[in-house]
Amino acid sequence: MKSKLMLTKSQKIALLCALPLMAAAALVLASRFYAAYIMEYVPPCILRTFTGLLCPGCGMTHAVFALARGDLVDSLRENALLLFGAVILLLRYIELWFGVLGGGRNLIPRSNGFWSGVFLFWTVFFIIRNFI
């Protein structure tokens, strides 16, 4: 027999209100923990090591660190794709609010075409970042 946790509407609203604060705290704590204990053991990017090219993910760690410091400009300078991910998370957060308030809407397309477009965008970002 499965037990499903059921929250009231007011509990869901309180949780959604607290979610950005919890996410910000987790971002700051995780970035400090990563910088202090893990970063020195992470190998460098294989693509960059062998070709000298920056992959679409290169600079993402530094971008997250800059975002954790509250430096949005430096974060974008390190890797602009973090902004794309932040927009996707914000849209998902808004979708959750719509769901709680009874208006269930999808703001993020769920089609394969959309995600193929995202992959194409990453590919173009890779080319522009390295060759222009």
In which residue are the tokens 């919890």 written? 22
Q: What is the pLDDT of residue 3?
A: 63
- Cα 61 to chain centroid distance, Å, stands at 11
Rounded to whole angstroms, the Cα distance separating 98 from 81 reads 26
| pLDDT tens-digit map of 63-76 | 888 888 889 899 88
Q: What's the pLDDT band for 44 if we cut at 50, 70, 90?
A: confident
pLDDT at residue 17 above 80?
A: yes
pLDDT at residue 78 above 60?
A: yes
Q: What's the pLDDT band for 112 if we cut at 50, 70, 90?
A: very high
Q: What is the pLDDT of residue 122?
A: 85
Rounded to whole angstroms, the Cα distance separating 52 from 126 reads 13
**Which DSSP category does 27 fall into?**
H
Instruction: Pick the closest to residue 63 from 49, 84, 47 (CA basis).
Output: 84
Q: What is the pLDDT of residue 15?
A: 93
Q: What is the pLDDT of residue 115?
A: 92
**Among the listed ranges 2-16, 20-34, 96-110, which one has the minimum average pLDDT value?**
2-16
